[in-house]
Amino acid sequence: MSSSALIVIDLQNDFCPGGRLAVEGGHEIVSLVNGLIKSSDHVILTQDWHPEGHSSFASSHDGREPFETVDMDYGPQTLWPDHCVQGTDGAEFHPDLIWDSAELVLRKGFRGAIDSYSAFFENDHKTPTGLGGYLKERGIKDLTLVGLATDYCVAYSALDAVKLGLKVAVRMDACRAIDLGGSLETMTGKMRDAGVVLK
């Protein structure tokens, strides 16, 4: 069995132009990602999947605006516009994404009181999503990450994957960033320092 997998992070309507938390140019990566899916032995998708009124939504905090930061009991949390609500069109994958060959769709952020940027751990950095165990049991050791957004869910996933002892590459050309207050530069630096191969 091949030990490599492609992980497509959150390539969902709400993160693409026209969506509720649109990442600039998010839709531009779809055809490139489709090509990578075709040439990958194992494909895993993550899907941001929040209940209504999720604690990461600014609308859930009186007097708060999107993109402000609040202190949660697990640490600082950026507040976002409502997005990727379970069962809505915004939470669906981009309609042009061809993902039939995916072996796993991992949903995250489904617990109301805690967000999950990373595909591996929720934002307390200790509650596992189960993906680490899944990869281990299947003997998958090399990951290529693509998707949205470079400086949030892709970066946090890549950093956690390295911590779990996996070999990780990020295809930067198949990602797009939110870039909030210099976050792209910060997170790119953190990934490079951690040994993530940025392609």
Q: How far apart are CA 175 and CA 24, in angstroms?
A: 11
Residue count of the chain, please give it. Answer: 199
Closest to Zn ion by CB, 80 or 143: 80
Give yes or no: 84 in active site.
no
- With H, G, I as helix, E, B as strand and everything else as coil, classify residue 165: coil
Range 31-70, binding Zn ion (CB under 5 A):
48
Which residue's CB is nearer to Zn ion, number 32 or number 51? 51
Question: Is 50 strand, coil or helix?
Answer: strand
- Helix (H) or strand (E) run with residue 30 in it: helix 30-38
In the complex, what is the shortest distance from the CB of residue 152 to Zn ion, in angstroms, rounded to a whole number?
Answer: 9
Smallest gap from residue 39 Cβ to Zn ion (A): 29
Dihedral sign, Cα of residue 70, residue 74, residue 75, residue 79: negative
Helices and strands per DSSP (H, E), number in the chain: 4, 8
153 part of the active site: yes
Considering only the stretches 25-33, 89-97, 103-111, 160-168, report the one whose residues sit in contact with Zn ion under the rule CB under 5 A: 103-111
Give, in degrees to the nearest 5, the angle at Cα 92 between 88 and 98. 160
Cis peptide before 149 (omega within 30 of 0): yes
Residue tagged active-site, from 10, 14, 82, 160: 10
Q: How far is the CB of 124 from Zn ion (least distance, A)?
A: 15
Stretch of 63-71, 90-98, 105-113, 135-143 lying at the interface with Zn ion (CB under 5 A): 105-113
Tell me the per-residue interface mask from 83 to 102 with Zn ion, x by CB under 5 A, - otherwise: --------------------
Q: Which residues are part of the catalytic machinery?
A: 10, 108, 153
The residues that touch Zn ion, with contacts defined as CB under 5 A, are 48, 109
